[in-house]
Structure 1
Amino acid sequence: MRDSHPPDSDARQKELTRRGESSSRLNRSGRVRQKQWTPKVKTGCVTCKIRKVKCDETKPSCQRCSSTGRKCDGYNPVPQKPTSKALKVVQMPSPWELLPGDRIEMESFQFFHSVTTPNLAGFFDQGRWACRLLQMSHQYPALWHAMAAVAGAHRNFVTDRTPITVSRSQDNNEVRFALRQWNKSIQSLQTLLSGQDLTKLDRLVVLSICLLFTTLSSLQGRQSQAFVHINSGLKLLHHWNLADIAGCQSDEDLDLKMLFILFSQLDSQARPYRLKNLQWTDKQLTPSSSQAPFQSLLDACVALEVHFNHMMQLFSDPSLYTHGPNAETQTKKQKCIDNFTDWDNKLAQFLSTTPQPEDKKALSLLYIRRALARVALTMDFSKGELAHDDFTQDYASILHLVSEILEAPNHQTQNPPQPPKLNFSLATITTEPLFLVAFRCREPTIRKQAMRLLRRFPGREGICEGMTALKIVEKVIEIEEECLTSAEGACTNGRWICGNHRVSLLQFFLVHERQVKTVMHTGEDLVLGRSGRELVTTYW
């Protein structure tokens, strides 16, 4: 068979190809063109990687993107152990290059990123604070080690197989790892605070570490330590003039809003406790004074929690429940009512322009907090504990909203077949409202449903212990139902439970780092000056 091209044609084609390749290597001057070699960067921003250009790696947005008017999409979080406070991100070494301790820290970082982070800020994080917190950990060793410590404690919290009715062991590998990381974080934090003037980012990191230390203490059931860290964070907020969030718009200000929500909720939870040897700050957080509608549910949550915190400071005075409100208290109470009314109007304006909010559960949580405030501020104190009977429908509405958040139908009457799993959240979500409904509402159906949800979804939110809350409610019901078998004439008026036997005052005292004493006073106890009945519970 003959070839399709003669031999001389193939030779000419090879010669033309050789000449073309030679000419392509020549520039206009006739010299051979030199290839320019540039180092490959694997730690640049996402935008520069896509464009395949060198990134200068400036945080939070690189100058290469900013100078060309492009949006910098940030940096993929690469787990690594920081060695300094420099803004340089070091490529993570291969697993076989890590020491055993470093490998455990990497695993803890992954656990914190995938499991713990969603539980820090509740429904209002929207990826802002959590994402930036992970990025900042590469720059601040104190933050890195604090995250590792929390991850160790959280993993121990969710994987411990000890029954929830029995106290856990406080000595195992996870607990010891968390303690070592906590000590490293303290040392790095001291170095950070002893340096030059702190930037706003530095201060946000320090406040975040305060919250992580609070989280660590709460997970371990060490409430006294949690109170210390909450109080320290609140004092730093005021000392650094960060307690006024009016006009917050930048990314750092969005982080500050998340800090505001968590600190105000933790402060509201801590108010009812009798804190010995701890001078608690009485300064108030300051919301924005703008009359414009909210721009997001995050803005609405910040304002609501600040108003709620002001209300809790008002109601933390025990004399209010024994002698009633005086003129000064009435003025403060009316101020709280006006603030919440203004909040209602702003939220209504926001929802009129945003009929489909970004997160329905977040909106339900706002409604729950607002309903609790409405009950507290509109209650007739002259009726005593019987005033709660006027809000039965409000308590039923709160219970319905909680059931929607937990995705638990109200009609369920049997306990789940599987043992309940422990949940943890630094933000206040459902445990506190369930406790208040079960404690204050005497309508049997509503009260039992609230207790059923507390039992089915045990956990810890901030410093609020769900299992302890359930034990307190069970003891309250035991005391209150004594009226059903009391001598004739010992009871007074009241639906379901008479006014004399209703528990109208709870006092909480920390007697040990993992124990709390609850003193329960009935209306009759307060009138006769009798000491209340005590319940000592140990945190799991």
Structure 2
Amino acid sequence: MEQMILTPFVVPVVGRGTQKFSRRPNFKSKGGCSKCKARHIKCDETRPFCKRCTVSSHVCPGYSTTSASSTDRALVLSKGTTHKSHNSTVGSKTIPRAPNTVPGSAQDTKQLQIVRLKALQSMASPVEQRNWEIFYLRFSYSEPVVWHSLLSIASLMEGYTLRAHPKAAVAHQLALWHYNKAVGFLIPQKSAEMVKIEVLLSCCYLFYALETNLQNTDEAFKHLYGGYQIIRVWRANNKNPSSLVETVFCPLFYTQTFGWLSNWFTYFKELRVKVDLNDLHPLPREGFTGLSDASVELFQITCYGLGCARSFETYKVTYDLQEDDESARLQREYFRSRLEYWLEAFERLYPQVCPDTAKALEIKYLKLVRRIVYLCLPGRFNVVEIHYDAYVNEFASIVDEMTFIYDTAAKSFEKYQKTNSTSYYFRENIFLHVYMISIKCRNPSVRRRALSLLEKVASPHAIWNNFLSIAMIERLIQIEEEGLEDVVDARGSIVPSEWARIHDITRVPEDVPHPDGFLFRMRQKINGEWCLRDERISLNVVQGTMVTNNDKR
């Protein structure tokens, strides 16, 4: 970010016929950060963190509020100074800094460093992370509500880091205090006051991130989906492709909303937050403006397909629907056509290999996602599971390529940024799509390779408990492999018979946690009758019961 250093004036001395200048004064500044003072080195006084600390991998603790440099800088900022970044796609926007929000506390600057190094890097794909970092840090100086929202997340993350330390409780209390403070700023003081849409969307996403860390998934999604609906209304009345809403917020909210719903449609039977599938309907498009635009479109198509497939799986039992059901057939055909159009437009946008490592990995990843959903989702409209056996070679190839993408991402990003959180984007999304393969590919070898990849990318900080999902898949494999008889797949391997295969799995939401774990409901078709199998699964215990044929819930 741009240095805010007061440069001394050069005083002109007028002589006979010539203009001379006095020597530039060389004075010693006393406004350096406390870390540089302790190390006895000259601080460059870059705000909010000095470059000397950042480059040398030290955590800059910030600047004293009583220093002359800090006081003078506050006076300069109070005269309407604006801050502009030259390294960001949002750099054309200047955001005025309010004097009362300039960070002066060492505790605040320490927490802002936590946000910069840990929280912001998981907000978007690796290609966009730098822009988000610059944007939020700049925006926080002019908007107190954004500032308190960031400090709330930082306090919460600091509390998780401290764990059993007595200060952890203090950090959590501070997080809630900043959260309430931010909400208070959103309440208009006058009836005529309006909150800027950029501020509102910033808070929606930061509140979503905070509730996610608190494991309040329903409240988290309300904030996320609320921001998504705000953008949809705004886009219906505004056509400014260069606005911050269009270039920054739209890709983030759309991708996260579709990703969240895709997870929900994958793991649960129905949403606890009401969502209309018509709001997710992907409209035909001629082309994409960039990688982010293409990613949003693919996630929207995937989300729509998962929602339709989940509806079919739910109703095919209750109403005895067949594969040729007219409504399901139309949804399946539209879904497939949108995927084909997407691939054509994407290949026109990126016909050659991209030299940028992060961008090349994301391009490769998006093409793999398209292959996975093209193979897995249309098959979920079938009333038999054995047709997946024809795709076993495709599944094996996808698992190998996904493993390569994740390993490459982890190595390259950690080499330059020294953090595991930069691979969060691939962790979260790879898990969902490899999960689809692990439950639909019955080849023992390929399925266990997929499970090994899931164990590698599983994150304890995901919205959904990744390790619980892995335990559920292991139990699923045990159940299905009781039916290893005489069915052979395209690789010649013996796979479970149709009667042993699980058609769909749903996690049953429970308001009160059960001491024996979480309840999963698996559906099988044995002797032409639908059967439910309830399995209560925790990380250590598995308990199962079989429900009789007549129960078609």
Alignment of 1:333-348 (within 5 A): 333-348=332-347
Instruction: Tell me if the contact between 1:275 and 1:509 (Cα under 8 Å) persists in the aligned partners.
Output: no
Q: For residues 194 and 82 of structure 2, what CA distance do their matches in structure 1 show?
A: 21
Q: Given the alignment of the two structures, is residue 112 of structure 1 paired with residue 115 of structure 2, yes or no?
A: yes
Counterpart selection for 2:138 from 118, 135, 138: 135
- Name the structure 1 match of 2:399: 399
How far the C-alpha of 1:232 sits from its partner, in A, is: 2.9
Q: Given the alignment of the two structures, is residue 185 of structure 1 paired with residue 173 of structure 2, yes or no?
A: no
Q: For residues 457 and 435 of structure 2, what CA distance do their matches in structure 1 show?
A: 12
Q: Given the alignment of the two structures, is residue 533 of structure 1 paired with residue 534 of structure 2, yes or no?
A: yes
* Residue type of the alignment partner of 2:277: D
Question: Structure 1 residues 128 and 499, CA, compared in 2 at 3 Å: closer, same or farther?
Answer: same
Counterpart selection for 2:322 from 321, 324, 344: 324
Q: Given the alignment of the two structures, is residue 372 of structure 1 paired with residue 372 of structure 2, yes or no?
A: yes
**Secondary structure in structure 1 of the residue aligned to 2:308:** helix
How far the C-alpha of 1:217 sits from its partner, in A, is: 2.6
How far the C-alpha of 1:177 sits from its partner, in A, is: 2.9
Instruction: Tell me if the contact between 1:507 and 1:519 (Cα under 8 Å) persists in the aligned partners.
Output: yes
Q: Given the alignment of the two structures, is residue 282 of structure 1 paired with residue 282 of structure 2, yes or no?
A: no
Instruction: Tell me if the contact between 2:430 and 2:457 (Cα under 8 Å) persists in the aligned partners.
Output: no
* Residue type of the alignment partner of 2:15: S
Q: Given the alignment of the two structures, is residue 313 of structure 1 paired with residue 304 of structure 2, yes or no?
A: no
- Name the structure 2 match of 1:38: none
Q: For residues 264 and 13 of structure 2, what CA distance do their matches in structure 1 show?
A: 80
Q: Given the alignment of the two structures, is residue 301 of structure 1 paired with residue 295 of structure 2, yes or no?
A: yes
How far the C-alpha of 1:73 sits from its partner, in A, is: 7.2
Can you list the C-alpha shifts for 1:354-412, whole angstroms capped at 9, x where unaligned? 65466122113212321222113443854612122122123223212321232179xxx
Question: Structure 1 residues 321 and 245, CA, compared in 2 at 3 Å: closer, same or farther?
Answer: farther
Q: For residues 254 and 189 of structure 2, what CA distance do their matches in structure 1 show?
A: 22
Instruction: Tell me if the contact between 1:304 and 1:343 (Cα under 8 Å) persists in the aligned partners.
Output: yes
How far the C-alpha of 1:124 sits from its partner, in A, is: 4.0
* Higher RCO, 1 vs 2 (CA within 8 Å, ≥6 residues apart): 1
How far the C-alpha of 1:89 sits from its partner, in A, is: 5.2
Q: For residues 423 and 250 of structure 1, what CA distance do their matches in structure 2 show?
A: 27
Deviates more, 1:105-114 or 1:351-360: 351-360
Question: Structure 1 residues 472 and 160, CA, compared in 2 at 3 Å: closer, same or farther?
Answer: farther
- Name the structure 1 match of 2:216: 222
- Name the structure 1 match of 2:200: 206
Instruction: Tell me if the contact between 1:156 and 1:174 (Cα under 8 Å) persists in the aligned partners.
Output: yes
Can you list the C-alpha shifts for 1:218-261, whole angstroms capped at 9, x where unaligned? 323332333333343344334x3337998734444111222221
Q: For residues 379 and 114 of structure 2, what CA distance do their matches in structure 1 show?
A: 45
Alignment of 1:120-519 (within 5 A): 120-157=123-160, 160=163, 172-191=169-188, 196-198=193-195, 202-238=196-232, 240-242=233-235, 248-255=241-248, 256-272=250-266, 273-274=268-269, 278-285=273-280, 290-292=285-287, 294-317=288-311, 318-319=313-314, 321-322=316-317, 323-325=321-323, 326-352=325-351, 355-356=354-355, 359-379=359-379, 381-382=381-382, 384-407=384-407, 425=424, 428-459=428-459, 463-484=463-484, 495-512=494-511, 517-519=518-520
Q: For residues 210 and 107 of structure 2, what CA distance do their matches in structure 1 show?
A: 18
* Residue type of the alignment partner of 1:336: F
**Secondary structure in structure 1 of the residue aligned to 2:258:** helix
How far the C-alpha of 1:213 sits from its partner, in A, is: 2.5
Q: For residues 150 and 179 of structure 1, what CA distance do their matches in structure 2 show?
A: 9
Instruction: Tell me if the contact between 1:396 and 1:446 (Cα under 8 Å) persists in the aligned partners.
Output: yes
Instruction: Tell me if the contact between 1:245 and 1:257 (Cα under 8 Å) persists in the aligned partners.
Output: no
Question: Structure 1 residues 396 and 175, CA, compared in 2 at 3 Å: closer, same or farther?
Answer: farther
Q: For residues 255 and 238 of structure 2, what CA distance do their matches in structure 1 show?
A: 11
Deviates more, 1:107-116 or 1:398-407: 398-407
Instruction: Tell me if the contact between 2:218 and 2:273 (Cα under 8 Å) persists in the aligned partners.
Output: no
**Secondary structure in structure 1 of the residue aligned to 2:235:** coil
Q: For residues 13 and 390 of structure 2, what CA distance do their matches in structure 1 show?
A: 95
Instruction: Tell me if the contact between 1:137 and 1:143 (Cα under 8 Å) persists in the aligned partners.
Output: yes
Q: For residues 199 and 355 of structure 2, what CA distance do their matches in structure 1 show?
A: 34
Q: For residues 426 and 186 of structure 1, what CA distance do their matches in structure 2 show?
A: 28
Q: For residues 439 and 497 of structure 1, what CA distance do their matches in structure 2 show?
A: 12
Deviates more, 1:152-161 or 1:137-146: 152-161
Can you list the C-alpha shifts for 1:449-479, whole angstroms capped at 9, x where unaligned? 2222322333057523311211111121222
Instruction: Tell me if the contact between 1:492 and 1:498 (Cα under 8 Å) persists in the aligned partners.
Output: yes
- Aligned length in residues: 448
**Secondary structure in structure 2 of the residue aligned to 1:176:** helix
Instruction: Tell me if the contact between 1:424 and 1:460 (Cα under 8 Å) persists in the aligned partners.
Output: no
* Residue type of the alignment partner of 1:186: V
* Residue type of the alignment partner of 2:205: L
Alignment of 1:48-63 (within 5 A): 57-58=81-82
Question: Structure 1 residues 296 and 329, CA, compared in 2 at 3 Å: closer, same or farther?
Answer: same
Q: For residues 405 and 206 of structure 1, what CA distance do their matches in structure 2 show?
A: 35
Unaligned 5+ segments in structure 1 are 1-20, 29-41, 44-52, 63-70, 78-85, 163-168, 410-420
Instruction: Tell me if the contact between 2:140 and 2:146 (Cα under 8 Å) persists in the aligned partners.
Output: yes
How far the C-alpha of 1:301 sits from its partner, in A, is: 0.7
Question: Structure 1 residues 185 and 527, CA, compared in 2 at 3 Å: closer, same or farther?
Answer: farther
Q: For residues 210 and 526 of structure 1, what CA distance do their matches in structure 2 show?
A: 50
Question: Structure 1 residues 364 and 186, CA, compared in 2 at 3 Å: closer, same or farther?
Answer: same
RMSD across aligned positions (CA) = 4.3
Question: Structure 1 residues 407 and 337, CA, compared in 2 at 3 Å: closer, same or farther?
Answer: same
Q: For residues 190 and 465 of structure 2, what CA distance do their matches in structure 1 show?
A: 33
Can you list the C-alpha shifts for 1:414-448, whole angstroms capped at 9, x where unaligned? xxxxxxx9999478422212322222222222222
How far the C-alpha of 1:492 sits from its partner, in A, is: 7.7
Instruction: Tell me if the contact between 1:425 and 1:461 (Cα under 8 Å) persists in the aligned partners.
Output: no
- Name the structure 2 match of 1:83: none
- Name the structure 1 match of 2:61: none
Percent of paired sites with the same residue: 16
How far the C-alpha of 1:532 sits from its partner, in A, is: 1.8
How far the C-alpha of 1:194 sits from its partner, in A, is: 6.6
Can you list the C-alpha shifts for 1:335-359, whole angstroms capped at 9, x where unaligned? 2211111111111111226654661
Instruction: Tell me if the contact between 1:245 and 1:288 (Cα under 8 Å) persists in the aligned partners.
Output: no
Unaligned 5+ segments in structure 2 are 1-11, 20-45, 48-75, 410-419, 541-553
Can you list the C-alpha shifts for 1:278-337, whole angstroms capped at 9, x where unaligned? 433434247675524x34211211211122222122122033553234212211221221
Deviates more, 1:265-274 or 1:188-197: 188-197
* Residue type of the alignment partner of 2:529: L
- Name the structure 1 match of 2:35: none
* Residue type of the alignment partner of 1:88: A
Q: For residues 389 and 375 of structure 1, what CA distance do their matches in structure 2 show?
A: 11
Instruction: Tell me if the contact between 2:264 and 2:271 (Cα under 8 Å) persists in the aligned partners.
Output: no
